[in-house]
Amino acid sequence: MITGIVPLYKPRGMTSFDCVSKIRHIIGQKRVGHSGTLDPNVDGVLPICLGHATKVVDYLMQSGKVYQGTITLGFSTTTEDLDGEIVNSNFDFMPIPDAKIDQTLNSFLGQSIQIPPMFSAVKVNGKRLYEYARAGEQVERPKRQIEVKQFVRLNSSSYDNTSRTQTFSFEVRCGKGTYIRTLATDLGRKLGVPAVMSKLTRIQSGGFNLADTVTFDDLDHAVNAHKLDKIIFPISYALKGFKTIILTDEQWNRVKHGGFLSIDEVACEDEMIVLKYSNIDRALYYKNEQENNYKPKKMFDLD
């Protein structure tokens, strides 16, 4: 089984699941997963986990994400992006000064509560919200806490006299679970003008940026040339925030059978440690203070 992380460039027009399915076909392996859904009309960085690396998706997502895109003022849609139907418009507003836009962008910094859009993959009672939306059904959406670390305008906003809309580019740095579409519509609400996210690219995720990404063609060529190891990253990339312990033969024999390691023999006080043997990440262990040892949190390659 192939294990590792592929920093995929997801093109527009594909769902995240489409990407997973295509990679399964390319590498001939079922155990493949992504680390954070990207909408079909969004392109950019989508880390894909192969084999045992599917167990470290949560740790990849902890590093946060960075997006660049555009917001258009003047109308809003059912999907909060350009895929939906217009549900509200105001083409008679006075162009908003950039200084006021900046001030409003700053008001989103920090932690806040966000309600995900109806056209999203969030599950309620076992069904995706977009399934309810397509059926014309309304359902109470779960509130979630998000964190926005940066939300800035990247250029001078422009007003289009023909469409009577105002558009500007932005960059946002945020934690997992944040819907950028909803940030755009909430921004418009604060400005008193309907708004929509008119373009979006994820430029960073899981510690990878656009320069790190590979395309489906890159992946296909690497597989055919038997050079897949040249473009995938090891599990350790997702666990680089934890201390690594090199196991002895005796310790490895215990670990591969789910055995514990005492705090004294590990000579470490960290809450979590990565265990490596024969230059391969084998497990993630957590500290159990009460029993004075380290126990398995995640088990990887035990062969």
Residues with active-site annotation: 39
Neighbours of 248 (CB within 10 A): 11
SS (H, E, C) 117-180: CCCCCCEECCEEHHHHHHCCCCCCCCCEEEEEEEEEECCCCEEECCCCEEEEEEEEEECCCCCH
CB 67 within 8 A of CB 202: yes
Torsion of CA 33, 38, 40, 46, to 10 degrees: -60
Structural Rg of the chain based on CA atoms: 23
Which helix (H) or strand (E) element contains residue 254? helix 249-255
